[in-house]
């Protein structure tokens, strides 16, 4: 199983450049950068800055939404990032957080078509083709790229619901999943069904799991994991809660507190069982053992952080050392 490190576009730039340098010190480092809509940094500019500081690291966007960014912006930016990163670049696409999209007046219609059309459009223009399309989400008239990438850019779908997981198995080069461990096992099964229907081999798709992870030393560190877990539960689709067999009587009050802005109250309602079903925390050895156990669920790559721990540098170094020795 491959170990990667995660960042988000809302992290301070000092942290992100420091994490990038630490990851790049490994022979085959790997970084995923998730997009926080309305975060402090522009996602594509941020990737360019981080890539310019690295030599050994494979970068990925995990994820951005073609409903939030114009599809032509994603096409052009990804083509450039693939060249800057010496073609060691992966693009993660997803619908995005429904609440964040709603805040911006963006309506989500036909999410399956939105993703499959985005995948088709991107691969067409990256292949130096002209594309015309008029749909609910995309309006293109003979659009083409002046500078297309020299090699195919792997596209990963960051999705959670059964229909989109099935779609990922049918067409994408990878899938980024997160959520309760019981759900992840079922999610991989659905992805594999899509692979089978499309007559694709399992080796043609990479399953990436990205759950909150933290090297903890005190109860305060665990509380940080609880806060992040409450955010994950608040934005978790009902279909995921059903697949994970979570108790809605336990989850709904957490969602209500997050919606009301009562994050501390929501975190306090996250039980130990619920926390352990989603979060990965403990000392370095415990964290690495739990991450490796995801391989039994069908996961090929696991992402560490955020959060990382009380001191991100020590936490990441500890996980790297433990991972390599285990």
* Cα(186)–Cα(165) distance, integer angstroms: 10
> Residue 16: inside a domain, yes or no?
yes
Q: What is the pLDDT of residues 130-153, one digit of tens each?
A: 999 999 999 999 999 999 998 999
Dihedral (CA of 192, 6, 155, 164) sign: positive
Read off the DSSP letter of residue 127.
T
- Please tell me the total count of domains within the chain: 1
Average pLDDT over residues 184-207: 98
Is 174 inside any structural domain? yes
Q: Please give the structure tokens belonging to residue 33.
A: 């950068």
Cis amide leading into 112 (omega within 30): no
Domain with residue 289: its CATH number is 3.20.20.30
**274 domain-assigned:** no
Residue 84 CA to residue 313 CA, distance in Å, equals: 26
Q: What count of residues does the chain have?
A: 326
Of the chain, the percentage scoring pLDDT greater than 70 comes to 100
3-state secondary structure 135-196: CCCCEEEEECCCCCCCCCCCEEEECCCHHHHHHHHHHCCEEEECCCHHHHHHHHHHHHHHHH
pTM of the predicted structure, to 2 decimals: 0.96
pLDDT of 249 strictly over 80: yes
Any residues with CB less than 8 A from the CB of 288 and at least 6 apart, and which?
A: 319, 322, 323, 326
CB atoms near residue 101 (< 10 Å): 17
Alpha helices of the chain — where are they, by DSSP H? 13-24, 43-52, 71-84, 98-103, 111-126, 162-171, 181-197, 219-234, 238-243, 248-259, 263-268, 272-278, 284-293, 312-325
Alpha carbon of residue 24 to chain centroid:
20
Q: Report yes or no on 266 lying in a domain.
A: no
What's the whole-number mean pLDDT along residues 198-209? 98
Q: How confident is the model at residue 60 (pLDDT cuts 50, 70, 90)?
A: very high
* Residues 291, 280: Cα–Cα separation, whole Å: 7
- Rounded Cα gap, residues 173 and 14, in angstroms: 32
Residue 38: how many CB atoms within 10 A of its CB? 11
What average pLDDT does the structure give for the chain?
A: 95
Cis amide linkage into residue 47, ω under 30° from 0:
no
In a domain, 252, yes or no: no
Residue indicated by tokens 């459009």: 121
Q: Is the dihedral of CA 190, 95, 77, 142 positive or negative?
A: positive
* Ramachandran angles phi, psi of 293, nearest 5°: -65, -20
pLDDT over threshold 80, residue 86: no
Q: In b/e form, how buried is each residue of 74-99, taking b as 16+ CB within 10 angstroms? A: bbbbbbbbbebbeebbbbbbbbbbee
CA dist 222 and 275 (Å) reads: 9
Neighbouring C-beta atoms of residue 162, cutoff 10 Å: 17
Answer whether residue 117 is part of any domain: yes
Instruction: Look up residue 69 and give its DSSP letter.
Output: S
Mean per-residue pLDDT, 105-119: 95
Q: Which domain holds residue 159?
A: 2-218+279-325
Kind of pairing between the strands at 155-158 and 139-143: unpaired
306: closest CA among 210, 234, 230? 210
The arithmetic mean of pLDDT across residues 205-232, rounded, is: 92
pLDDT score recorded for residue 27:
86
What is residue 156's predicted lDDT score, i.e. its pLDDT?
A: 98
CB 62 within 8 Å of CB 32: yes
User: Mean pLDDT throughout 154-161?
Assistant: 97
Residue 153 lies in a domain: yes
The answer to whether residue 258 is domain-embedded is no
């Amino acid at each position: 199983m491959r170990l990667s490190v995660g960042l988000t576009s809302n992290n301070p730039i000092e942290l992100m450049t420091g994490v990038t340098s630490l990851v790049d010190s490994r022979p085959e480092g790997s970084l995923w950068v998730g997009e926080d809509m309305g975060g402090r940094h522009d996602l594509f500019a941020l990737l360019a800055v981080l890539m310019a500081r690295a030599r050994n690291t494979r970068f990925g966007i995990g994820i951005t939404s073609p409903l939030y960014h114009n599809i032509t912006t994603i096409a052009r930016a990804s083509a450039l990032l693939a060249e800057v990163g010496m073609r060691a670049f992966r693009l993660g696409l997803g619908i995005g957080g429904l609440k964040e999209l709603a805040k911006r007046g963006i309506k989500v219609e036909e999410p399956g078509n939105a993703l499959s059309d985005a995948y088709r459009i991107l691969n067409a223009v990256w292949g130096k083709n002209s594309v015309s399309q008029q749909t609910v989400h995309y309006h293109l008239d003979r659009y083409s790229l002046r500078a297309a990438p020299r090699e195919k850019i792997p596209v990963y779908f960051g999705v959670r619901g059964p229909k989109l997981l099935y779609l990922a198995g049918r067409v994408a080069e990878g899938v980024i999943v997160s959520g309760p461990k019981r759900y992840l096992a079922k999610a991989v099964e659905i992805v594999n069904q899509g692979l089978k229907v499309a007559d694709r081999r399992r080796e043609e798709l990479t399953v990436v799991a990205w759950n909150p992870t933290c090297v903890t030393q005190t109860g305060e560190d665990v509380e940080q994991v609880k806060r992040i877990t409450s955010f994950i539960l608040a934005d978790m689709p009902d279909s995921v809660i059903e697949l994970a067999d979570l108790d809605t009587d336990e989850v709904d009050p957490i969602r209500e507190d997050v919606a009301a802005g009562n994050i501390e109250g929501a975190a306090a309602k996250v039980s130990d069982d619920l926390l352990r079903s989603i979060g990965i925390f403990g000392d370095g050895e415990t964290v690495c053992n739990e991450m490796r156990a995801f391989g039994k669920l069908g996961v090929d790559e696991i992402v560490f952080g955020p959060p990382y721990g009380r001191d991100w540098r020590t936490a990441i170094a500890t996980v790297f050392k433990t991972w390599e020795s285990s």
